[in-house]
Chains A and B, each alone.
Chain A
Amino acid sequence: MSSQPLLRVTNLTHMYGNRVGCRDVSFELWPGEVIGIVGESGSGKSTLLSCLSTRQQPTSGLVEYDTKDQGLVDVYSLSEPRRRMLMRTDWGIVHQNPRDGLRMGVSAGANVGEPLMAVGARHYGDIRQQAATWLDKVEIDPERMDDQPKTFSGGMQQRLQIARNLVTHPRLVFMDEPTGGLDVSVQARLLDLLRRLVTDLGLSAIVVTHDLAVARLLAHRLMVMRQGQVVEHGLTDQVLDDPHHPYTQLLVSSVLQP
């Protein structure tokens, strides 16, 4: 294992006026590791994810990322061009609603090819070849690469979004309820795919979900959030099988007894 975390978060706080978004969150994410953030809606999971992925400036606290050239750097101290470059090359963001992460008006191939073009790819044939490869990896028939995502099912759209995110070989992927809004059977297939990709590519990921089953399948470690704060943090199996905090106990029991 590497001697340095990929992401280090220290006392991260975000306030909406006087209302707490998230408060005093600290953790480290190591290369190849997947952390799940669980909690009910309104617990601050999504705020935390936005602050981590530089989509929302935190009120206070530090988010440091292990950049290839400078080592651990406060991501909010980076200039906007560098931050955008980081988002394009090192990071991926999988939104709950694929519409937020895809260009619905252009073909599937262009959706996967765009991140490549954004970092300078200028050979049409190569771009197309890579797009086809990635569509295949996420189990979309490359025959459909010239179709627009709006002709795809919800599960396919989500897989397309994943391909678009992974084509530039990011090191860190943020996922916000990646299986939300999908049918149970479709969810299972997507989870299986995600788990395989994360393992094959050695990705690090932070997955926000309210679904403990998703967390158990994907995450090595879990953080349980309530009212903006992390109330319990540990290995996934430990947290789910032997919850210590009363709130976690409640969460786990409410899943077990539907």
Chain B
Amino acid sequence: MNTGYNFAYLDEQTKRMLRRAILKAVAIPGYQVPFGSREMPLPYGWGTGGIQVTAAVIGADDTLKVIDQGADDTTNAVSIRRFFARTTGVATTEKTVEATVIQTRHRIPETPLSDGQIMVYQVPIPEPLRWLEPRETETRKMHALADYGAMHVKLYEDIARYGHIATTYDYPVLVNGRYLMRPSPIPKFDNPKMDHSPALQLFGAGREKRIYAVPPYTSVKSLDFEDHPFEVQRWDQACALCGSTESFLDEVVTDDKGGRMYVCSDSDYCGERQKDQMQ
């Protein structure tokens, strides 16, 4: 453990500021709380928001898991896990069930989360209305007035053009029946896992300086139409390694002649299943 910096890198005053923002976010589910995002030693867009949130909530007794694209061994996950291992000395794990804090980019683990766990999402663009309205002053007003009609216009257009809602990831949700929220670029496959999850879900956007949260057991509803209900992706194939037909599959190109195979994106889930099958 590197002792040149405070526990979890940030000084205690900064962590206090972050915790105040997190508490406010938990109190108003789905509302984006502006916070004094610090410049981190990792680039913006690479998880600075998630890192600050993790730094604010992590304690010496915690066990940390970091995933990117569902896997613990992707380079950015490795880099962030190392950062916390070096600055906090906390135990790290690749097992979802062992972790007390899970920082993620783009996935929610397949293994169901449980009471007392904290999910920390890295968020590139927190504002769900951004593509409709580039101005922050206007989008804040739209949230204040729950003026979300325009959001359905996009879904309407998808159906009119493709016959489906074509949004596949970062699929907008309504939290606790009030605030429209971006779940971060997780596949819509993962959206149902957010609804009434026993885990505390925290979202950090460092560059955009926003924190938001979904407290445990809170309703998270994916936007849809009554006659075009929300649905998640399905695969015709099973995972080539563990045989799962329930999990989100990554496609791996095996040659340049169209050969490909499908494997679980969640490396821990897949590994555990393979281990069980060996026994």
Contact = CB atoms under 8 A, between A and B. Distances in A.
Taking the complex as a whole, does A directly touch B, i.e. does some CB pair lie under 8 Å apart?
Answer: yes
Interface of A: 80-81, 84, 88, 103, 106-107, 109-110, 113-115, 117-119, 122-125, 127-128, 145-146
Q: Give the secondary structure class of B's interface.
A: helix
20 contacts: A80-B141, A80-B145, A81-B145, A107-B157, A107-B160, A109-B156, A110-B156, A110-B157, A110-B160, A113-B156, A114-B149, A114-B152, A117-B150, A122-B225, A122-B226, A123-B225, A124-B159, A124-B228, A128-B160, A145-B160
A107 to B, nearest CB: 6
A115 B149 contact: yes
A152 to B, nearest CB: 16
Contacts of A124: 156, 159, 225-228
Interface in B214-250: 224-228
Q: Give the secondary structure class of A's interface.
A: helix
Contacts of B226: 122-124
Contact of B152 (A80, A81, A88, A122): A122
A117 B157 contact: no
A146 B153 contact: no
A154 B147 CA distance: 29
Interface residues of B, number: 18
Q: Which of A107, A109, A110 has the most CB of B within 10 A?
A: A110
B260 interface: no
A48 B152 CA distance: 34
A81 B102 CA distance: 39
Nearest to B223: A122
B135 interface: no
A114 B147 CA distance: 12
B275 interface: no
